[in-house]
Each structure stands twice: as C-alpha cells, then as structure tokens.
Amino acid sequence: MHETSYEAIINQKNAIMKNAVGIDYDAYEFKHIGFDYDRLMDDFSYPINDVLTIQSETGVGKTPLKELKNITKLARNYAPKGYGARIFIKDEAQNDSGSFKARRASVSCHQAKKLGYKGVIAATSGNYGAAVASQAAKLNLDCIIVQECYDSKGVGQPEIIEKARKCEAYGAEVIQLSVGPELFYVFLKLLKETGYFNASLYTPYGINGIETLGSELIENSLAMTGKTPAAVICTNAGGGNLTGTARGILKTTDKPIDIIGASVNLKGLHMASDIDFNRKSFTTGHTGFGIPFMTNPDRSDVPRSAGRPLRYINRYVTVNQGEVFFITETLSVLEGIERGPAGNTSLAAAFSLAREYKEDDIIIVQETEYTSAGKHHQAQLAFAKKNGIDIVFGNPKDEVPGQSIVFPENPSLIKARDLDLSHIRRRYLDHALKGQSSLTKKDINFLAEETNQSTTTIENHLKTNHIATEED
C-alpha cells in the first residue's frame, strides 16, 4: 500500500490529527465509550480573560448588541396581548472577517503561533475559512483552506464560491474539491505533508474562543436592559457555536436562560449527495449538519469533538428556507441592517418564539454574519431557480426541501417547529452503544452528562438493550 494512498492516509488519521493539534486525546479516554470532556477542556483552554486579551489584539470581539425595535413591533402584531419579547442581535458581522467564527479562529491561530507551527489548515466551505485566513494573516502564518465546493459537473454554489474569494483575499491558498469522501483524505494528506496546525472548528481552542461571545452578550444585556435574557438562540450546525456560547453564559451568570438551537429544515436532502448538493440553498446552519453532529459529535476532523450540544441545549427548533429568506429581507427593510443567511436562521426562529415570551422578556439572536455578492439572498434564490426549485409565496409549512422555497404570504405564518430532543438523545445513545456489551460507571456518567439526563435514565436504557454494568 502506497503511503499516500487513500487507505494509508485514512488508517493514519488519529496519528496525523494528534500531531497537527498537539493534543494526546488517548490520555482522556475511558475504558469503553466515554472520555473526560471537562478535563480535556480545562487542559486545553485559556481562561476567559486571556481569550478576551487574545481577541482584542486581533480585531475580534466586543461587538455591539442591537435591539430590533421594528421587528419586535411586527412580531407583537401576531402575539397574544402582553406577549412579544424584545428581540436583540449580537452583531458579529463586525468582526474583521465578518462572522463570529473569527472568535474560534483567533484562539486556534494564537495556539498555532505559540507552538511554533509555520501554518494552519482548515477544512471548511463556510465562514470559518475566511476567519482562519484573516487571523493567519495577522499572525504571519501560512494558510490553506480546503473546500467541498462543486458537484460532479463542476458547478458550485454562489455562497461557497464567495467564501473562497474571501479566503484568497486574505492570502490563503484555497483547494476546491467536489462533494464526496475526498475532502477528508486531502485534508489529512495536507496535514501530514505540510506539518501545519489543524485549525479545526472542533478542538477545545475553537470552542474556547466562542465562550467570550456568550459572556459578552450577558454583559451587554445587563448594561442595556438591566436584566439577563430569557432566551439565547444559536444557529446550529456542527454544534460548536451553541456549545461555546452556552459555556460562556454559564461562566458569566447563574440565572436560568433558555439555550435554543435553530437550524434550517433540509429534511430529505443528503449532504454528501452529488444530486442534492446544489439543491439546498443553505450551506450551513441546517439539519443536514445539525442532526448528525448532535447524534454523533465525533464525526468531526479531530478524534474527540469539543462541540457537544446535547450537554447544553434546552430546545431545538427548525425554520424553513423561505422563512429565513423572508426575515433576511425584513431585517434589511425594517432595520436597515443587511446581513447574511446563517444568523438570520436564528432571527427567523426568534420572530416566532418571541410570541411565546412576555413583552418585558429579552431574546438574543446570538450572531450575525456579513453578506456580499455570492452570499446575498438574491444570488442564492437565483441559483435555486436555475436548479429548478419552485419559488412561491404561500404557507412555509408546504415547502419541500430540494423542490420548493415558500415565502410566507403573511409574517404570522413564520413558525419555529420543535424537534423532539428526547428522540435525538435516544439516537445519540443508540449510536454510542452500538457493539457494546458492558459499560463502566464512568461511561454511564459520561452518557448522562452528554445527553443531560440522569444516570438512572441511562441505566434503564442499558437494561433495555441488555448492556451490563461493570466496575471501573
């Protein structure tokens, strides 16, 4: 077997990733399926004040919290009397690279520089590539971004193409690939050949960088309103955004706050399908990432992901593509703020959920992102129409991902739809327990923490699946 063949590289993945991050993940493993998440995070995270210093030196953080008074007023038109929470956004588009992912990249690139790596590599088709490229430029690090960009006909989505342009503008080398398994292979091969740092979204450093966002939004809310928010809504894809924000909130306040994840509903579309790849109008923040990463967080590009959303999430909702496009336009027209689609996923959810909270409650949409030619909703809609997607006004509940985009003919039709977290937790457990005949008490405690359930619930699940308990 040639040492750079697909099989050879994949077989070396754990060793390659260990060398590229500087973390011995094996040292944190329990006997069967669990690992010491808290110790891993403690050992490879900076105190939040140190993160604030790192970020202040590289154009990251301290973004404004803005009240959306006109959108709040519109939402109250469809709320019961006395309901309709005040809606705020944390305007993360004002970070140098245009999104909250600059927070993740800042700590990763700082660590790469500190450890003496010459460059950084990230596998991403999203805003994180631009964030890593921007931070690498500030720290004089080489940067390679690997993108899953095209279908088999060489056609790429406008949003992904735009992000490649932005990465190149910061001086990064961008390697664009077609959809499929070659992405991970090429990524690992480059890590091995270059010896660069793996600026993964899912290391402790990547999550650590977002903790300042959770901390800031609490401090901003207290300064502006004198109270903590009733709910914080996080657009959810790989889970790191929600995880880092929640951890930052927990480090800043002990007040109860609903941590709500929101994703675009792309049910029925497969993210690795050559056919489906260009029939979706969202490249991130959708259920095609949100569900798989929630039920199997370690499907990422490190042995153990630091993004563990089930530990922190209180509620998980979806909105449809037409609703997000509608609220994107609404944000521009009513508030004079033009932002990209990912953060507006949470804003669409907030518009619906605000009607469940009282008028004096605060809801914070935890991030915004920049927009420009390829990322603009008009470009995405034009691309969808070119691919045969029907674009109509009506009731968004009738939207079929990959076939139609339905704008609400009335704002009252924007509806956040709850996903069953108990079902998602069972799916997580079923995946984790596959092939297991017994677990230790440490493993059981790990599963309880992972799914935010009692150890009794986990033990009952083990009994149902005829899995024994053994001593540690």
Question: pLDDT tens track of the chain, all 472 residues?
Answer: 467 888 888 888 888 888 899 899 999 999 899 999 999 999 999 999 999 999 999 999 999 999 999 999 999 999 999 999 999 999 999 999 999 999 999 999 999 999 999 999 999 888 999 999 999 999 999 999 999 888 888 888 888 888 889 999 999 999 998 887 788 889 999 999 999 999 999 999 999 999 999 999 999 999 999 999 999 999 999 999 999 999 999 999 999 999 999 999 999 988 778 888 888 888 889 999 999 999 999 988 899 999 999 999 999 999 999 999 999 999 999 999 999 888 899 999 999 999 999 999 999 999 999 998 888 889 899 999 999 999 999 999 999 999 999 999 999 999 999 999 999 999 999 999 998 999 999 999 999 999 999 999 999 999 998 988 887 7
pTM recorded for the entire structure: 0.95
What's the confidence (pLDDT) of residue 373?
81
| 453 burial via Cβ count (<10 Å: 0-12, 13-18, 19+) | middle
Neighbours of 434 (CB within 10 A): 9
Burial 386-423 (b: 16+ CB within 10 A, else e): eeebebeeeebeebebbebbbbbeebebbbbeebebee
* Residues 141 and 119 sit within 8 Å (Cβ to Cβ): yes
From the list 352, 85, 89, the residue with the least C-alpha distance to 230 is 85
Q: For residue 84, what is the enclosing H or E element?
A: none
Residue 187 phi, psi dihedral angles, 5° rounding: -60, -50
- Residue that the structure tokens 């079902």 belong to: 423
Q: How far is Cα 406 from Cα 228, in angstroms, rounded to an integer?
A: 35
pLDDT at 283: 82
- Choosing among 3.40.50.1100, 3.40.50.1000, 3.30.70.420, 2.40.110.10, the CATH entry for 49-98+205-418 is 3.40.50.1100
Burial (Cβ within 10 Å: 0-12, 13-18, ≥19) of residue 58: buried
What span, in angstroms and rounded, lies between the C-alpha atoms of 176 and 125?
9
Task: Give the pLDDT of residue 129.
Answer: 93
Please indicate whether the domains covering 6-30+99-202 and 49-98+205-418 agree at the CATH topology level: yes
Nearest to 351 by CA among 368, 328, 381, 367: 328
Tell me yes or no: is domain 6-30+99-202 CATH 3.40.50.1100. Answer: yes
Taken in order 435, 439, 444, 445, is the CA torsion positive or negative? negative
Domain boundaries, the chain: 6-30+99-202, 49-98+205-418, 421-470
Supply the pLDDT for residue 277.
86
Q: How many CB atoms lie within 10 A of CB 2?
A: 8
